[in-house]
Amino acid sequence: MNKLITKVSLFVAAGALAIGLMGCGPKMANKQQLSQLDEAKAAYEAAQTKYDNLVSEKDKLEKQKADLSAQLEDLTTKLNTCNEKIGK
């Protein structure tokens, strides 16, 4: 009988501890925290949009640079050909 009382009291103590720990769990966010979260999300989305635009502009400028390099090479070749024809 004494063992039964010990087991029951341990079970009750464990249950009380479990219920007590449930109260220590994570709390729900309040309105201020939700507002801060919305602001952070909006700032993130704005930064992501700006980043995407900058990447697009970088790609465009790199293509333009490649086109201009090709054009410079072509003009240099033509200039060298003309210089050879006139005897320089």
Q: Which pLDDT does position 78 carry in this prediction?
A: 96
Tally of domains in the chain = 1
Amino acid at 15: G
Taking the C-alpha atoms of residue 66 and residue 60, their distance in angstroms, rounded to an integer, is 10
Structure tokens at 88: 């320089």
Q: Which pLDDT does position 20 carry in this prediction?
A: 62
Task: Determine, yes or no, domain membership for 70.
Answer: yes
3-state SS assignment for residue 53: helix
Query: 58 lies in which domain range?
Result: 38-88
Task: Determine, yes or no, domain membership for 5.
Answer: no
**Do 17 and 24 contact (CB within 8 A), yes or no?**
no
What does the pLDDT look like over 16-56, one tens digit per residue? 666 666 666 667 778 899 999 999 999 999 999 999 999 99
Amino acid at 62: E
Task: Determine, yes or no, domain membership for 18.
Answer: no
Nearest Cα neighbor of 85 from 77, 4, 66 is 77
Whole-model pTM: value is 0.56
